Amino acid sequence: MPSPTQILEDPINSLIQRCPDMRTLRQIHAHFLKSPLGSSAYALSKILAFSALSASGDIAYARRMFAQIPNPNVFSWNSIIRGCSLVPEQSKEPISLYKRMLRSGFAHPNSFTVAFVLKACSIVSAFSEGLQVHCHALRYGLFSSPFVQTGLLNFYAKCEKIACARCVFDEISDKNLVAWSAMIGGYARIGLVNEALVLFREMQEVGIAPDEVTMVSVISACAKAGALDLGRWVHAFIDRKGIELDLELSTALIDMYAKCGAIDKAREVFDGMDVRDTMAWSSMIVGLAIHGHVKDALELFSAMLDSQVKPNHVTFIGVLSACAHSGLVSDGRRYWSSMQELGVAPLMEHYGCMVDLLCRAGRLEEAYTFVNGMPIMPNSVIWRTLLVGCKNSRTFDEAETAAEQLLQLEPLNAENYVLLSNLYASRCQWDKVSRMRKKMKDHGVKVVPGCSSTEIDGFVHEFTVGDDTHPEIREIREMLRDIAERVRRAGHEPWTSAVLHDVVEEEKESALCEHSERLAIAYGMLKTEAPVVVRVVKNLRVCGDCHEVTKIISKIYDREIIVRDRVRFHRFVNGSCSCSDFW
């Protein structure tokens, strides 16, 4: 025989479960308010949960309703916290609600509360607040909950605190698929492809079958590291295991192949998709743009519009950067206008693309006019783009203005000082270079070293400028000496102006040979033979001398070399680069 509580709750559950929309829910709510059940905490919590969490709900209605509940129970708190965390606008509202809950004293958090708040902290990268929630989970004895454990793991991973994430992961005695996927995703987020792949293999060894979410994380790791062979293996694994190639996974494969330099394979995956959403189209357009396939990128954008798929801000970053890479000023302006006509409000990245386009085309005055007319305050990227444009165009007066703005916005960013030092070094103004060094020392600023990687036999090898830690460094240096001699015989004169030191030319030439991409290219050529492509990923932009030398290497050694720098791809074949020296 049902208890009195069940007699009360069953009709409420039945009504809410059958509720199709908010209009009906409001009628149900009004009915309850007029009935003896109007003050029932259970009834109110169920109505609140629908309005806060269902697909047809209304979070504003849920907020108003929650404000009228005298002493909300934990279920109500959980509903409003989770509901607010699902709102597209990223904010700290769920965290504020959690603090109110603790202060109220009427309800203590449970494992669901902690998991929901941790998710909110991960969305807005609220690291200090997440640490406090971790402490609360321990205080309330909730850490053993799988929801709390995976919530903590995901929080640390998304905040890129990978050591903390690994500590939580190692403490989980019974690791489920969500935990494995979150940890692999954490490694992928910061580009630790070797660690991600080791964990992926361990996951299979313990009998946990990966799903689409796991595979997206693994593919993302391959994309960030430029590990094409591993990416191909993962793609084959997906096919072999019969894992469904849904929209997200297919888009991840497009992104991976594009970022690993296999743009034709990315296009093959794209063309094989039955359904393509905005992200799939955008990923393909961006991929074509960074490879310098400008005509294809712009034609694909037209096809996207013809397919009635609405572009978003990522799409237009691809389109505008494609124009910038080829100096298509009139086309860039046309797309800038169409972006606003299609209801895509320009973000800082779009303004940056337009400034980059004008600077690359040598239209510095127009670029300055454009920046001065921006409705939002230009950020450091905008001023840095102007500074690079000034350096390339050798318009030094305007450079001082850009530099002043840049150092005000980012006094601790080493890249800004390096750019200015480059500018002064190109004019042999060594006193100003020294002043830049002194400022860096006074502010405690350290230069980010150049870092390049290449994948050999499924393992990613990393090199930094002047690196001597690699176990095969002796053989690499022998290869570098052979390269340097053959490049010299080909008639190349080192661009020593790229070295920011007032030292003799011989020392400058030696410094150029130690750049990280030279080490990675030498190792790739040492370990592989033609026609295997040497693929390199670099964290900074390729310097002018390395670019010129790599062109010569591709010709005299008859090797195809693909370098992905921070801005775009460079494909070197037979003495030429795909960027046509416009980068």
Q: Write down the residue that tokens 């090199």 correspond to.
A: 463
Confidence (pLDDT) at 36: 65
- Report CA dihedral (317, 319, 322, 326) to the nearest 10 degrees: -120
Distance CA 536, CA 259 (A): 11
Confidence (pLDDT) at 451: 92
Confidence (pLDDT) at 482: 95
Phi, psi torsion values for 52, nearest 5 degrees: -90, -30
Confidence (pLDDT) at 443: 85
- The DSSP symbol for 208 reads P
State the pTM of this model. 0.80
Which residue ranges of the chain lie beneath pLDDT 70?
1-10, 12, 36-40, 90, 395, 495-512, 583
Distance CA 41, CA 170 (A): 40
Confidence (pLDDT) at 458: 83
- Relative orientation angle of helices 414-426 and 380-393, to the nearest 10 degrees: 10
Question: Rounded to 5 degrees, what angle do the CA atoms 316, 321, 324 make?
Answer: 135
Q: Which residues pair with 570 in a beta bridge?
A: 563
Confidence (pLDDT) at 121: 94
Distance CA 519, CA 527 (A): 12
**CA dihedral (230, 234, 235, 239) positive or negative:** positive
Confidence (pLDDT) at 416: 86
Cβ(81)–Cβ(119) below 8 Å:
no
Ordered by where they begin, the domains of the chain are: 175-275 (1.25.40), 453-577 (no CATH)
Confidence (pLDDT) at 507: 42
Q: At residue 147, what is the residue type?
A: F
Distance CA 470, CA 555 (A): 27
**Cα-only R_g, the chain:** 28
Confidence (pLDDT) at 205: 92
